[in-house]
A = this chain, B = another copy of it.
């Protein structure tokens, strides 16, 4: 019924071990033998049994994608990363497993240990914000589970990253170029790399343009739509309202636009708004949102690729830098 390695060996007139060598791209097989074995595999439509491989070889061929299901970014962001990770795993015949993992809670280590013991991933891909959770990284190293990160704050991980600070700076420069000076910023959740980098880019651009920082124009948000609304109300209540708002992500920018409607402010005539991420939502708004495109799917793929390079003994993996690009749309205009 099921074709086994042994039958491939018989068909190719070699020992089972040799077929195994070919299957795993190991050395010490002559090119000719390798070809013959490959042909036999093809011919018989041989599919190695993953459990047998795992058991004997002491590896699972499973990559787990870990995410914080409590205070995580938008679900579409994670869905895109997941798509990319899956694509990379498929390319090397690894399986992907998705695992939520709440950071808060004192049984964190226990839950992490259970995850590792129960599923034996050969490696894990970390997504923000758990990319920088020290107890997690420590435990993964202790248990010898390799990992790669999407947008880590530290330079010591392998994975992928975009220069978010430069991107934030560029988008604020876009606003400055339109004549805006009173530019507000809605912050993301504290400690998230995304929040830090985007604030840093904002400050950098403002400072470079010689605009003194007004603390009243930098307000707290939490990456959600609702927090954007709240933050915007705070800004609109100021004696000197901003003429432009740079929100740390698209969801909050959407909230700002809603609040603008409440206050009778027209976007972009009375207020320019921009976000960050370029979620599908950005194009659906009216006017469409000026934002920074973050290629999440690509980033997921690349992070997984770095991990797989490591797992497959193809080098040590690196921290790849992604380019960014501004999406200038209808929500920003020259100051009136």
**Chain A residues at the B interface, C-beta cutoff of 8 Å:** 47, 49-52, 54-55, 60, 69, 75-76, 78-80, 82-83, 86, 93, 95-98, 100, 114, 117-120, 225, 251, 254-255, 257-258, 261-262, 280-281, 283-284, 286
Contacts and interface: CB of A to CB of B under 8 A. Distances in A.
B95 A97 contact: yes
Nearest to A254: B284
A76 B257 CA distance: 22
A258 B120 CA distance: 48
A50 B281 contact: no
Contact of A95 (B69, B119, B258): B119
A139 to B, nearest CB: 16
A248 to B, nearest CB: 16
Nearest to A80: B75
B86 A79 contact: no
What is the count of identical protomers in the complex? 2
19 contacts: A49-B55, A50-B51, A50-B54, A51-B51, A51-B52, A55-B55, A75-B75, A75-B79, A75-B80, A76-B79, A82-B98, A83-B100, A93-B118, A95-B97, A98-B98, A255-B284, A258-B284, A262-B286, A281-B284
Contacts of A255: 284
Among A95, A98, A284, find the residue whose CB has the most chain B CB atoms closer than 10 A.
A284
Contacts of A54: 50-51
A5 to B, nearest CB: 13
Contacts of A261: 286
B100 A97 contact: no
Contacts of A280: 75, 225
Contacts of A225: 280, 283-284
A316 B286 CA distance: 50
A262 B118 CA distance: 55
Nearest to A58: B51
A50 B93 contact: no
A50 B120 contact: yes
Contacts of A114: 47
A51 B117 CA distance: 12
A79 to B, nearest CB: 4
A69 B251 CA distance: 24
Contacts of A120: 49-51
A114 B46 CA distance: 10
Contact of A55 (B52, B283, B284): B52
